[in-house]
Amino acid sequence: MHDIEPFYNWREFYAAEEDQDSPFYGKEYDEFYFTNRVYNYYIHPQWDAFGSDTLYMKILYADYDQGFCIIEMIGEWNDCLHNDIMFFKRKILDALMIKGIYKFAIIGENVFNFHGGDDCYYEEWYESVYDENGWIIFLNLFQHVYEEMRKVNIHHYVNLLPHLMNFEWRKHEPQYLYKTFEALINKNKFIESE
């Protein structure tokens, strides 16, 4: 796992450690000193910790004018034992929402397992973004992670769209993804209102 790096091809557009509104503003990274682990496996030092013992993240892109960000995750998402969603919501999402981010794309292709727990933080997150005409999309989850999230009803609060579970997002620039996700959400709202 130590050689799985967060996606870095958008560094020309955004770097969380250079963004004064980012929870990771001013952070310095050591490319050779590995400290963070998922269980007994060290992970690449570019991943950011937010309080979970088994789940890490990277803000790949944020646009405060459009209120949109893309976050990549790695590790085991464990709400049952570690309440990872609480740490994620309180330390990262709340900080971004205070700055006007209400549209979230969460990339989960490196989330190896999910263990559901109480859904109150997902509900709170949903209500916060819904009030601001925002949305939450999870994409590129492993099939077993997707199924577990649906089993514990996370799909009531986040968009788990089956056709986004194998989405080739790396080919595109962040603004293209924003427009694509915005169109998908608006289409779904239109279908639901019919």
pLDDT tens digit sequence for 94-152:
999 999 999 999 999 999 999 999 899 999 999 999 989 999 999 999 999 999 999 99
In a domain, 173, yes or no: yes
In a domain, 2, yes or no: no
Domain count, the chain: 1
Mean pLDDT of 64-89: 96
Higher pLDDT, 191 or 158: 158
Q: How far apart are CA 34 and CA 18, in angstroms?
A: 22
Domain ranges, residue 142: 16-193
Q: How far apart are CA 85 and CA 120, in angstroms?
A: 9
Segment (H or E) for 61: strand 55-63
Among candidates 75, 140, 69, which has minimal Cα distance to 105?
69
In a domain, 9, yes or no: no
> What pLDDT sits at residue 39?
87
Q: Are 54 and 88 in contact (CB under 8 A)?
A: no
SS3 label, residue 109: strand
In a domain, 135, yes or no: yes
In a domain, 10, yes or no: no
Alpha carbon of 93 to those of 60, 90, 173: distances in Å? Answer: 14, 6, 22
Q: Nearest 5°: phi and psi at 158?
A: -125, 155
Q: Is the pLDDT of residue 74 over 60?
A: yes
In a domain, 31, yes or no: yes
In a domain, 5, yes or no: no
Residue 144's domain is classified under what CATH number?
3.30.750.24
pTM (2 d.p.): 0.94
> What pLDDT sits at residue 42?
87
SS3 label, residue 72: strand
In a domain, 174, yes or no: yes
Higher pLDDT, 37 or 25: 25
Mean pLDDT of 176-185: 95
